[in-house]
Amino acid sequence: MNNVKANDAFLVKSYIEGNENSLSILIDRHQHRIYSFIFSKVYNKDIAEDIFQDTFIKVIRTLKRGKYSEEGKFLPWVMRIAHNLVIDHFRKNKRMPKFDNSGDFNIFSVLTDSSLDAEKQLIKDQIEADVQELIKELPEDQLEVLVMRIYKDMSFKEISERTGVSINTALGRMRYALINLRKVIEKHNLILTN
Amino acid sequence: MAKLYSESSPNKVKKMSPKKETVNFLLSYSKALHISTYKRMEFESFLN
């Protein structure tokens, strides 16, 4: 045991003197114990990986700054750093608790995704394409008003100004456009619902 | 002597260890990190 401690001390000294390979040996020697210790506290591989990394970043910076005093306790020192970082992790999570969705209450019962799923989106696209084909069968003046109103989102006032007819005429053309569109849909027995 | 039917043995217990990428990152980080001091100030620089 003393031999291992002496070896650690020698490797730390060697690393501080610039031998990067010593760090590789130290990590290789102690990674299982340190990683297992962290994992036993956090029970999450990704978090354990992050804390392991942060632990050794602290170790590297402290050693390179010459702030480490060698007392033959390299591993306990690294474990202490890891322990402190685990505590930091839990403190941080306490301030920003994560919802793990493991209880009776299901968070997804109140959080819903209002966007359409792939199938419904396909159906919607198909219906819109069909409607665009259908409106081509309308008389030109009705088609013009319908396109301006529905696709260009123009007001009837704007439509009347653009087409040079009164608002009432524009309203009438829109009404007939919808009536004729329904007739075409019924004639072809089309079902345009999502 | 009673037979042991369990397959696991201490040798087969997989040790938990971090990913190779993590260790490699740490070694690269260590190689790249250079700390220089000027009077009482410390400067960290990363060399590629």
Tokens of A104: 């009776």
Q: Where are the beta strands (DSSP E) in chain B?
A: 33-38, 41-46
On whether the pTM is more than 0.95, the answer is no
Contacts of B22 in chain A (CB under 8 A): 49, 52-53
B42 contacts on A by Cβ (under 8 Å)? 65
Query: pLDDT tens digits, residue range A156-180?
Result: 999 999 999 999 999 999 999 999 9
Q: Please give the distance of CA A160 from its chain centroid, rounded to a whole number.
A: 47
- The answer, yes or no, to whether residue A182 has pLDDT greater than 80, is yes
Instruction: Supply the pLDDT for residue A100.
Output: 64
pLDDT at A1: 46
Residue B28 located in a structural domain = yes
Provide CB contacts within 8 A for A34, sequence distance 6+.
Answer: A52, A55, A75, A78, A79, A82
Q: Which residue has the tokens 């000294």?
A: A13
Average pLDDT over residues A43-48: 92
Asked whether residue B14 is domain-assigned, the answer is no
Chain B nearest-CA distance from A59, in A, is 10
Q: What integer best gives the mean pLDDT of chain A?
A: 86
Contacts of B24 in chain A (CB under 8 A): none
pLDDT cut 90: percent of chain A above it? 53
- The count of structural domains within chain B is 1
pLDDT (tens digit per residue) in B1-48: 666 666 655 555 567 899 999 999 999 999 999 888 887 787 888 876
Report the alpha-carbon distance of residue A193 to residue A102 in Å, rounded: 38
User: Which of B17, B27, B44 minimises the CB distance to A23?
Assistant: B27
Q: Measure Cα distances from A111 to A101, A114, B14, B25 in Å.
A: 12, 9, 40, 38
Architecture of domain A4-93: Orthogonal Bundle (1.10)
Which band of pLDDT confidence, cut at 50, 70 and 90, is reported for residue A189? confident
ipTM of predicted complex:
0.73
- CA triple A116-A120-A124, angle to 5 deg: 100
A68 touches chain B (CB under 8 A): no
**Per-residue confidence (pLDDT) for residue A103, from 0 to 100:** 63
Domain boundaries defined on chain A:
4-93, 118-187
Domain A118-187 has CATH 3.30.565.10: no
CB contact under 8 A, A49 and B16: no
Cβ neighbours of B23 in A, within 8 Å: 27-28, 31
pLDDT band at A115 (very low <50, low <70, confident <90, very high): confident
Domain that holds residue B35: 20-48
* Interval A53-111: pLDDT, tens: 999 999 999 999 888 887 878 999 999 999 999 999 998 877 665 666 666 666 666 66
The answer as to whether B31 is a domain residue is: yes
In order of A9, A36, A82, A116, the CA distances from A4 in angstroms are 9, 20, 20, 62
B29 touches chain A (CB under 8 A): yes
| Residue B1 falls inside a structural domain | no
Query: From the CA atom positions of chain B, what is the Rg in Å?
Result: 23
